[in-house]
Amino acid sequence: MFHKILVGVDGSDHALRAVRLAGELARTCHADIVIVHAYPPIPPDLGEPNLQATISERLHEANQVLERALQEVGFTPRTVETEALEGAAPDVILRVAEVRQVDLIVVGSRGLGALASLLLGSQSQEVIQRATCPVLVVR
């Protein structure tokens, strides 16, 4: 049914639940998976050596988030790829979804945000509003 599944991760347990479900779907549907992490933009006027240090730090953190997600996805019969891109999460997720022509986006209902009372985080809400393919929100 689905051929290419995108799952967004922010380092939260909610996102890891989304990854596990994406893995199960990929096993059932024989789908490819792309795990996407958006990291905050780096101010271009930081100046050296801060600029290089900040870039390295951001990439290191992004890799840790993606590595953790890779552990969680489990064996799948097809490819599992990762992408870390700078920008707002909905922009990054929707850009990758379009470029790679994914047919399902999976996100957690919540993320790292502090407001536990929220039913749905602002990033997943924006993804739902703007996506042109089905979106699966994992609680």
Nearest-angstrom CA–CA distance, 106 and 21: 8
| Residue, CB closest to ligand ATP | 121
Read out DSSP for 43-101?
Answer: PTT--TTHHHHHHHHHHHHHHHHHHHHHHHH---SS-EEEEEEES-HHHHHHHHHHHTT
Residues 30-59 touching ligand ATP, rule: CB under 6 A, are 36-38
Report in angstroms how near the CB of residue 23 gets to ligand ATP at its nearest. Answer: 14
Report in angstroms how near the CB of residue 85 gets to Mg ion at its nearest. Answer: 16
Nearer to Mg ion, 90 or 111 (CB): 111
Nearer to Mg ion, 8 or 111 (CB): 111
Nearest-angstrom CA–CA distance, 126 and 122: 6
Binding site for ligand ATP (CB under 6 A): 8-10, 12, 14-15, 18, 36-38, 89, 93, 107-108, 110-113, 115, 118, 121-124
